[in-house]
Amino acid sequence: MACSQVRAMMETVSDILAAHIASATWDSLPEPARDGARRVLLDATGVIFAASGLSPEAAPFITLARANGPGPCAILGTTQRVQPLGAALANGALAHAVDYEDAFDLAPAHPNASLVPVLLALAQSQGPVDGQRFLTALAVGGDLACRIALSLRQPMEQGGWYPPPIVAAFGAVAGAANLLGLSPEQVKDALSLVLCQVTMPGEIKYSQRTVLRAVREAFPAQAALTAALLARDGVAGFETPLEGKAGFFALYAGGQFDPADLTDGLGRHYWGAELTFKPWPSCRGTHPFIEMALDLQAAHGFAAADVARIAVHVDDVQAMLVEPLARKQAPAVVIDAKFSIPFTTALALVRGGVKLDDFGPQSLGDTQILALAAKIAPVADAAPAWARGVGGAMAIDLADGRSLRAQVDNALGCPARPLSDAAQRAKFIDCLSRAARPVAQREAEVLAQAILTLDQSADVGALFG
């Protein structure tokens, strides 16, 4: 047997992934991965800007970042500049706070909400970082998060975990490792060190008073940046941080995973090219119901007051968006409203849409929205005819006796039904106008164009103040 064959047989999954993360370059990226990375950055930075003006939940994280002193890294949407770890923490808190960031519909992952804050912190503290180097790191990190999420054969929820921020941390540290030029051995160290830090209990879904669900990405972002910098400076990790006897998959999935999902097409196919970009600022699972409600209202011309009752047909993934029903019909905090099918459906019908400024205290206390939400009840569907978690069916009964029906197989924004280029730009411009330090339309248009041509930039960090 040839030496190369013996070496290949001895390689672990961690070895294969680390070698790819360390060696990926702009020239090795297929064009869909390049385009996907540009779109990710446009979407993610816009959402962070918006949250800086709309999400008071993130204020303590910004305060903590500032307490560590001034530095080279911007907290997007503000005038604050802080140290890198503080920037990762603060921008991470903002990245999911308005629940408007990209999603990976095929598995439980928001691959870029931690990753983008980490890469921005590095670009502004380790710079100058050119656009090609930045986009490569973004493509590599987002792809790994998606691959890990896809590879799970035992749901992480079975062990009491909440998957998205945990999975995102590994993508974020992979992107950081690539941008920093770590060796394969150092990449494994970085993966090990993030494993030592990252956690997110499923209790985040059940507690009624917490807003941690909104700011959750602060923790994996800071953990990923810490891990990458320590690995660069020589802190040794584990030989097999992912598939080891007590590694990631053993701890979080009972050792049940498919290595092929991690390695097949590695370096040739990037999942970041197949993400969903949200048209509405709420949990992805609410989107089919928002879409159906708006479409039925437009087609049949009824008002919210004309509704007698609404049945929403949901699958097992969406159960968390309708249970407990009384809480979902009258959510107490904004992030709970964004994770509620009854509330977002009622909001869409009362307001004629679901927008960034529709989730303030006035909306949570709006008697018309709450009255309609109380008329919305779930129907569990054990064998859905739509894509799990991102489709659904609806029946609206009107007071005049009409009964309206609709089904969506995969809500707007998915790769099969993507937002147009114009819609993505409009979303970005609208988001920047909501920042703590609002950005004028012309300035936002210039920044959008710079992001969409980022591979021509010599200094990514300089674009963000």
Over pLDDT 90: what percentage of the chain? 96
| Chain center to CA of 345 | 22
Whether 7 shows a pLDDT value over 80: the answer reads no
Provide the pLDDT for residue 1. 38
Whether 6 shows a pLDDT value over 50: the answer reads no
* Coil, helix or strand at residue 418: coil
Q: Is the pTM of this model over 0.85?
A: yes
CA-nearest of 255, 132, 144, 235 to 182 is 235
The tens digit of pLDDT for each residue in 95-132 reads: 999 999 999 999 989 999 999 999 999 999 998 999 99
CA dist., res. 426 & res. 455, Å (int): 22
Buried b (16+ CB within 10 A) or exposed e, 168-182: bbbbbbbbbbbbbeb
The tens digit of pLDDT for each residue in 291-330 reads: 999 999 999 999 999 999 999 999 999 999 999 999 999 9
Q: How far apart are the first and last CA of the chain?
A: 56
Secondary structure of 194-259 as H, E, C letters: HHCCCCCEHHHHCCCCCCHHHHCCHHHHHHHHHHHHHHHCCCCCCCCCCCCCCCHHHHHHCCCECH
Provide the pLDDT for residue 3. 40
> What's the pLDDT band for 366 if we cut at 50, 70, 90?
very high
Mean pLDDT of 1-20: 70
CA atoms within 13 A on the CB side of 255: 3
Mean pLDDT of 335-357: 97
Is 416 within 8 Å of 387 (Cβ atoms)?
A: no
Provide the pLDDT for residue 10. 61
Q: Which long-range contacts (CB under 8 A, 24 or more apart) does 128-132 make?
A: 128/458, 128/459, 128/460, 128/461, 128/462, 129/179, 129/459, 129/460, 129/461, 130/457, 130/458, 130/459, 130/460, 131/453, 131/454, 131/455, 131/456, 131/457, 131/458, 131/460, 132/26, 132/455
Is 49 within 8 Å of 435 (Cβ atoms)?
A: yes
Compute the mean pLDDT over every residue in the chain, rounded to the nearest whole number: 96
CA-nearest of 166, 168, 160 to 203 is 160
CA dist., res. 90 & res. 257, Å (int): 33
CA dist., res. 411 & res. 390, Å (int): 6
Residue with tokens 């920037």: 87
Find the range with the poorest average confidence among 6-10, 148-152, 275-279, 345-349: 6-10
Whether 8 shows a pLDDT value over 50: the answer reads no
Tokens of 240: 């097999």
Whether 208 shows a pLDDT value over 90: the answer reads no
The amino acid at residue 131 is G
Provide the pLDDT for residue 127. 84
> Could you give the domains of the chain?
3-274 (1.10.4100.10), 284-408 (3.30.1330.120)
Per DSSP, the residues of 264-309 read TTTTT--GGGG-B--SSSS-GGGHHHHHHHHHHHHHH---GGGEEE
